[in-house]
Amino acid sequence: MKKDYTKILELQNELSKNVINHDDLINNNISNVCGIDVSNKDLNAFCSAVVVNKNTLEIIESVNEKSTVNYPYIPGLFMLIEGKPLLRIIRLLKNQFDVLIIDGHGILYPRKCGLASYVGITIDKPTIGVAKNLLCESILDNNYIEFN
């Protein structure tokens, strides 16, 4: 039986209205940056977070955790798989950070609310999504991305 994910799609559309897609950190003093990623195998998630000092690149803290995933991969709903493990690993951090970098999409995602947008809004922190593949939009001749 196929599940109905309409409420999750509606949540993504609603959350996308809260995404700040301009540089709001120009005048802020950024010292610590956190990078997080999740690797999945079957229904297991292996998550790591590292907080580094931006100026010295000194590692302030590193945390790793294995957890269980409640959903299989569903195209366009990656936040269901990786959202919970990422939020759990962030709660385990003892040190504060100013900016979060996530291996995943932000606004370059269907409904403009990828994993990075979802986590950033949930924790109310500036978050940058760094993804390996372009899922939507088009790359122009000048290598800029055109929003469709």
Q: At 14, phi and psi to the nearest 5?
A: -70, -45
Across the range 84-97, mean pLDDT stands at 95
d(CA 123, CA 20): 14
pLDDT for the residue numbered 105: 81
pLDDT digits (tens, 9 = 90+) for 32-70: 999 999 998 888 999 999 999 999 999 999 999 999 888
Domain span holding position 71: 6-20+28-146
pLDDT for the residue numbered 88: 95
State the average pLDDT for the chain. Answer: 84
CATH assignment at residue 11: 3.30.2170.10
Q: Is residue 67 part of a domain?
A: yes
Long-range pairs for 31-34: beta carbons < 8 A, 24 or more residues apart: 31/55, 31/98, 32/60, 32/95, 32/96, 32/97, 32/98, 33/97, 33/98, 33/99, 33/100, 33/101, 34/90, 34/93, 34/97, 34/99, 34/100, 34/101
% of the chain with per-residue pLDDT over 90: 41
Confidence of residue 101 (pLDDT cuts 50, 70, 90): very high
Q: Are 127 and 119 in contact (CB under 8 A)?
A: yes
d(CA 117, CA 18): 9
Across the range 92-115, mean pLDDT stands at 87
Q: Is residue 1 part of a domain?
A: no
Q: Is residue 141 part of a domain?
A: yes
Count structural domains, the chain. Answer: 1
Confidence of residue 125 (pLDDT cuts 50, 70, 90): very high
